[in-house]
Amino acid sequence: MTSALFSPISLRGLTLTNRIVVSPMCQYISDNGNANDWHLMHYGSFSLGAGGLVITEATNVNPVGRITHKCATLCTDENEAALKRVIDFCKKFGVAAHGIELAHAGRKGSTVPPAMGGRPLKPEEDAWETVAPSALPFADWHVPRALTKAELPGLVDDFVNATKRADRVGYDLVEVHFGHGYLLHQFLSPLSNQRTDEYGGSLENRMRFPLEVFAAMREAWPKDKPMGVRLSVTDWVD
């Protein structure tokens, strides 16, 4: 009898050869947001089939959404071309399907990589202004700027544009980052979202922006390709 773990599974038009998934793991080694030879080796080695699906690390939809200066982004033609080189290589020599996690760090951005301490960047280290649902810092980090309602459609556009780029790169699946205390999780949580407009307060209101993002991304993503979200199922925001 074959174990379910090693059995195929279909998600919309994508059939995985097994149910082992290589989770997205931040590498903190991108160059100006671009994938490089490290990613060619890293994802190429996972593409040989032990896992039926390999998910590329949290890839941010704009530069403000990065965690660190070394994080991946998918918001320029250069970013897209660099990732396409990696995924083309993985699909040429490997057998696994490939997904990508699209993200925005919100108030948890503008830091040094975890291996260097994970602390907030200092002004002389090219720190940038972070954004969040409310002007509430994570722990004793930078105080973020509260997003205005007028800015939210632009953020939706950033997620949608990254989604379209992911399709052109050749990804089979998109995972939207709703966890780890990053921006969309920050909207969901009453600890980090203390807005008084229709995007804050009740659970329905706090869910509004993340669901708007997801709906717009789903509309832009091919109907035969699966899309899902990553939830932390714990309020990891404080």
Q: Which residues are identified as catalytic?
A: 182
Q: Which of 204, 232, 15 is nearest to 108 (CA)?
A: 232
Token pair 């032990």: residue = 50
> Which tokens hold the place of 84?
């396409």
Residue 161 to residue 83: CA distance in whole angstroms: 15
